[in-house]
Amino acid sequence: MAKATFAAGCFWGVEATFRQLPGVISTRVGYTGGKPANPTYEDVCTDSTGHAEAVEVDYDPAKLSYDKLLEVFWENHDPTQLNRQGNDHGRQYRSAIFYADEEQKRISEAYIRQLNEARVFTDPIVTTLEPLESFYPAEEYHQDYAARNPNQPYIVYVAQPKVDKLRENFAEKLKQ
């Protein structure tokens, strides 16, 4: 089993997309990239701790590559928006890859370089590459929130469209 950690806006929608991939064993939403230790949702929402809302993905590298995780990461958020995704504003909503080792860092750097050189996005990518120092699981009510609350308005209008886009663009590669 391997781990990858990504931030791409509100963690509810990010988690919902990664859970669709075969080879993903489990996901956890939480906070990383800031101080102090063990922040709460309320702490992170002050935009003063430096933490990002993130998703930790446990996956089987024999079934799912880190490259494929990155492909889904890029496809399902706007990596050109600084410290925001849509109407969610603040550093906690930044686009970031929290690399666990030098190999993840190298692959991520190469992917960013390739996307920028190909001008895949109109604006430059502002996704940060940050070493994963610690990951603090979010409160239980945030875990698997989209699946447990499919009719909640934020899920209907923000998270579910991300899942729908993923299903449209990667249908042959998703869990049935």
The reply to whether 10 belongs to the active site is yes
Q: In the chain, where does DSSP find H-type helix?
A: 11-18, 41-45, 66-75, 102-117, 145-148, 153-154, 160-170
Q: Would you call 30 helix, strand, or coil by DSSP?
A: strand
The pLDDT of residue 176 is 62
Give the mean model confidence (pLDDT) for residues 54-80: 96
Confidence of residue 104 (pLDDT cuts 50, 70, 90): very high
pLDDT, residue 173, reads 66
**Of these residues, 2, 7, 8, 10, which one is catalytic?**
10
CATH topology of domain 2-173: Peptide Methionine Sulfoxide Reductase; Chain A (3.30.1060)
Per-residue pLDDT, 147: 94
pLDDT of residue 170: 76
Token pair of 21 as six digits? 């991939």
Using left for φ > 0, alpha for ψ between -120 and 50, and beta otherwise, residue 119 falls in: left
Does residue 138 have a pLDDT over 80? yes
